[in-house]
């Protein structure tokens, strides 16, 4: 089972969900704060930039080291809705009048 997914796949799988992006330092792995105006890693001795490009290009915010996630509540809601749909479909398939 493949666990890693692209952001595009997340959007396909969780249509109604808000996708959250979490940036982290490519050098030391420390997560950056939610404020995307923080460009330098806060780890002592680590001066890695948050986004691709030079210091002057950080405002372009081209993400380089990040992972995406979806709120657990959104995932559970979608799964529950899918299960209900599957159950209804199975009921229809088992009903002889629908054949």
91 within domain boundaries: no
44 within domain boundaries: yes
20 within domain boundaries: yes
pLDDT higher than 70, residue 90: no
What residues pair up with 66 in beta bridges, in sequence order? 23
2 within domain boundaries: no
Chain segment 8-47, per-residue pLDDT in tens = 776 666 666 678 889 999 999 999 999 899 999 999 999 8
Give the number of domains in the chain: 1
pLDDT higher than 80, residue 66: yes
Closest CA to 27 of 15, 17, 40, 8: 40
53 within domain boundaries: yes
Mean per-residue pLDDT of the chain? 80
Q: Which domain holds residue 67?
A: 7-71
Confidence of residue 1 (pLDDT cuts 50, 70, 90): very low
User: Sign of dihedral through CA atoms 42, 25, 66, 74?
Assistant: negative
pTM, rounded to two decimals: 0.61
What residues pair up with 68 in beta bridges, in sequence order? 21
Confidence of residue 4 (pLDDT cuts 50, 70, 90): low
Closest CA to 60 of 24, 36, 26, 42: 36
């Amino acid at each position: 089972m493949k666990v890693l997914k692209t952001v595009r796949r997340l959007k396909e799988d969780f249509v109604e969900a808000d996708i959250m992006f979490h940036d982290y330092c490519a050098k030391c792995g420390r997560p950056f704060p939610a404020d995307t105006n923080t460009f330098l890693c806060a780890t002592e001795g680590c001066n890695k930039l948050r986004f691709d490009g030079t210091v002057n290009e950080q405002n372009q915010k081209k993400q380089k080291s990040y992972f995406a996630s979806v709120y657990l509540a959104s995932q559970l809601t979608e799964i529950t809705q899918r299960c209900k749909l599957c159950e209804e479909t199975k009921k229809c398939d088992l009903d002889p009048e629908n054949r």
